[in-house]
Structure formats: structure tokens, C-alpha cells
Amino acid sequence: MLQHIFKACFRREFLLWWTLFGVAVGIALGGGLYNLNCSALVIELIGYPGELMIRALEELVLPLVMLALMNGVFSLRNTGSGTGRITRWSLLYYLLSMFLAAGLGISLVYIIRPGRGSPLDSSGISSCLATNSTSTTDDAADSTIESLLNIGRNAIPTNIVSAAASSNFLGIVTFSVIFAFTLLTLGDRGELVIQLIEVINEAIMKLVFAIILVTPVGVASLVANTILSACNILLLLKSLGLYMVTVVVGLFIHTFIILPLTVVILSRQNPVHVFRSFLPALIMAISTSSSAATMPLTMQCGEDYGCERSIVQFVIPFGTNINRDGTALYEAIAVIFICQAHGVNLSVGSVIVIVLNATIAAIGTASIPNAALVSFVTILQALSLTQYISDISILFAVDWVLGMFRTAVNVWGDACACVIIDAWNKHHSRMNGFPRHTRQIGHTKMLHDEDG
């Protein structure tokens, strides 16, 4: 009977509610002990379970990023010439939309400045500076040109092992993508290695899921530790509220202005009609916080709108795996918010690194709730700001709210891509004299009615 109760209460779909409970426990514990002037040792012990969870996530970041990107490249190996064209179009659009999202997020976080006042900057656990000092990263000391040159140097490391040891994820990403494409050129000889990497990637994903299952305990520990370590709890709550406003405003602008503009400019279709057709999928994305769980409904909405079935069956799953507009915007804002909250100034080169890494990290993010927590670590490591990784906890306290809207933006980006790619494909078919009701993509021929 106890086993049945345990299985019923700790199912994966209940993780969100247990995480909320963990956040509530952490707030209550931290708030209750805040005025007691707990010693540094007590605060360290309270935050110890959360510290172990963060260390476990950091441990899996390297294999997760490498294998996820390589697995994404491998998913293209069975495509034919027609699908290759659709793949190129999809990749171009997805990269464009994610860069726009990350750029928008950075613009807003510098305009609103949710971390002003440096609420997380302190001189110790039990005492805080009356006036927060301003520090700079190593990159800020360099010239802007030198920082930009360092991006190329990091993308092509002299030693891939040392790049992994120094958390140079830009070099890891470059190597992973090129190595994966090289394996695809080997044909059947590389298939065994490809299958091995896919199996290892699946195993790593199971480990990530296992860590995510213990997040309620880790989050309670980290939230309590962050509250007890905060210099000014009221300033911290104010900054957190401004942070949420920044993210929501960014998601709103990207959803109702930028993505609709891409639909109008690139497909000449009415974005209002597209939005209405995909509204059921967007509602489900908000309720589940998972673009993977929403994917079947998104595909059905695409077919109901009039997109060709073959395009829908390729573009939507492809986008579900690599397109993360909302995540790219969110992570760009989150990283700079953490820097602002610690009084850290970033150079232009560092901001460009954030844009690149936010896009890359978003691509490697799993289509599951709270997965952005893992990829967020990679950006801080790329900026050599690993000392601030524990601050993820304070963002996690509100991530469950932002995650719902972030997922809806991801799904809306997939929908816009589907409509745009379908319009391009129909135009390409007409230009090449193919009948509208017949399409040849890859090795599969799909027949459709005139209404799609």
C-alpha cells in the first residue's frame, strides 16, 4: 500500500506541484530564520542539499551539450534532397528567430535594469556592505575588439580536452557539430558510432530527469540559503519582481510583434489567422510547460490551418527539438540580471558571448519543464562566472510561472516556422512546375487535397 501511495504521489506529472511546495518551504524557512542572524555554518548546512543538486547538474552539462547537439545533427541523416531543402530553410528561420529573441532580451534587461541596486552583492554571509561595490569580469578589462577576437579563439580551441576542462562551451559546440556532420559523411561505416552516441545521449537524458525529480528538495534548500544570504530582502524581492516583468514584456513583444512580422514579411499571410488556428496548442503549452507534450496538438493545428501534412510532420518535430525562442530570450535576461544583481559590468564582447551562448544553450535544451535550469549553467560557465551558479535558486522560485509562457512562445515559434516553410515550399513547387496537390520530399511521396 505504501508503494502504491508513493508511486501515486511522486509521479513525474506532479513534479511541478512538488517544486512549488519546495519553493514555499524554502521561502518560509528563509523568512523565518532571516532575523535570527544565523551563523555561516548553519546557512551553509541549509544550502548543502541544493549545492549537491547544482554540482550534479554541472557534472552533466558537458555530455548533455555535446550529445544533444550531435544527436540533433544525426536526426538529419535520413533526409533526402527535398527534405534537405526544408531543413536548410527551417534552420535559417529558427536561428534568425532565436537571435532576435536573445537580442530583444538583452535590450530589455539593460533598459529596465531589474538587478539595479546589486541586491545579491555582499561582503559576507552575515554582514553586507552599506554601499554595494561594482566589480567587473575579466572580459570587461579587455578591449571590445580583443573580446570579439576571443570569440573566434574560443570557437577553435587548440585542445578539445582543455576546452572541456576550462568550460569553453563555444569550442565544445563547434567541435561537436563538425564531428557529427563528419560522421554522417562516412555512411554505413559511421552508423555504429552514431547509434552509440544516440544511446549515450538517451542515458544522459535519463540522468537529467533523475536530478530534476529531486529539485523540490534542492530548490527548498537553495531558496532558503539565498534569502538568508541576501543583504536586503526587500530589495531582492523588488529586483525579482522587475526581473519577472522584464521576461514577460520580452515574451509579449516577441510573441505579438516580432514573430508576427516574420510571418507577414516571409510568407505574406495574416498572423492573426495563424494565431487563432494554433491557439489550442498555445493553451496546452501554457498548461503543460512542455513543447514535446504539446507537439501532437501543434501538428494537428498546422494541418487544420492548411499546411501540407509532409511539411507539418517534419518542421514541427524538428522545431520542437531545436527551436527555443522563449528560452533564448529568458536565458539572456537571466544571465545579465544575475550580473546586475552582483554589480558586475559586462563588456560588449561579453554581451555578444551571451547572445551566442544563449542561442546555442537554447538549442540544446530538452523539451521538458525546468530544463532551462541546466542550460543556464553553461552560459555562466562560458563567462567564467561559476561563482554565481547557486543564484539560479532565486530564479527557480519564479521559473514555474515564466516557464509556462516561455513554452508557449517556443510553440508559437514552431507554428510560425511551419506556416512560413509551407509557404516557401508551395512557392518553390509552383516555380518548378510541380502540381500543388503532389509533393515529393525525401523518399516519401505525399498526396493531398487542394485545401492542404
DSSP string covering 139-175, please? HHHS-HHHHHHHHHHHHS-S-HHHHHHTT-HHHHHHH
Q: Tell me the three cell numbers of residue 204.
A: 544522459
Number of other residues whose CB lies within 10 A of the CB of residue 38: 18
- SS3 percent helix, strand, coil of the chain, rounded to 5, is 80, 5, 20
Q: Is the pLDDT of residue 146 over 70?
A: no
Q: Which of 327, 417, 316 is nearest to 366 (CA)?
A: 327
Average pLDDT, the chain: 76
* pLDDT tens figures, 283-340: 888 866 777 778 888 888 998 998 988 788 778 877 877 788 888 898 889 889 988 8
Which element (helix H / strand E) includes 229? Answer: helix 215-229
> Could you give the C-alpha distances from 283 to 292, 326, 369, in angstroms and in order?
14, 15, 15
- Phi, psi dihedrals of residue 135, rounded to the nearest 5°: -115, 170
pLDDT, greater one: 375 or 125: 375
Higher pLDDT, 17 or 364: 17
Distance CA 182, CA 264 (A): 37
Contact predicate 393/225, CB 8 Å: yes
**CA–CA distances in Å: residue 378 to residues 47, 278, 388:** 21, 32, 12
105 has a pLDDT exceeding 80:
yes
pLDDT of residue 172: 79
For residue 417, count other CB atoms closer than 10 A to its CB.
28
Contact 355, 109 (CB under 8 A): no
List, for residues 247-284, the tens digit of each pLDDT value: 999 999 999 999 999 999 999 999 999 999 999 999 88
Kindly report which listed range (42-51, 230-239, 310-319) carries the lowest average pLDDT score. 230-239
More confident residue, 342 or 73: 342
> Is the pTM higher than 0.75?
no
Residues 158-170 pLDDT 10s:
888 887 777 676 7
Mean pLDDT of 348-359: 79
pLDDT at 373: 59
pLDDT of the residue at 7 = 58
What are 5-19's pLDDT values in tens digits? 555 555 555 666 777
- Grid cell digits, residue 314: 517534419
| Domains defined along the chain, listed by start | 16-447 (1.10.3860)
Q: At what angle do helices 372-382 and 392-431 cross, to 10 degrees?
A: 100
pLDDT (mean) for 116-130: 52
% of the chain residues with pLDDT over 90: 16
For position 131, what pLDDT does the model report?
A: 38
SS3 of 351-395: HHHHHHHHHHHHHCCCCCCCCHHHHHHHHHHHCCCHHHHHHHHHH
342 contacts: CB under 8 Å, gap ≥ 6 = 115, 118, 120, 121, 135, 388, 391
pLDDT by residue (tens digit) across 60-84? 777 877 887 787 677 656 544 455 6
pLDDT band at 125 (very low <50, low <70, confident <90, very high): very low
pLDDT of residue 364: 58
Cα gap 116→340, rounded to integer Å: 6
pLDDT of residue 416: 94
The alpha carbon of 267 is separated from its chain's Cα centroid by a whole number of angstroms, namely 27
Answer yes or no: is pLDDT of 351 > 60. Answer: yes
* Set of cell numbers at residue 299: 501538428
Cα 109 to Cα 244: distance, rounded to the nearest angstrom = 11
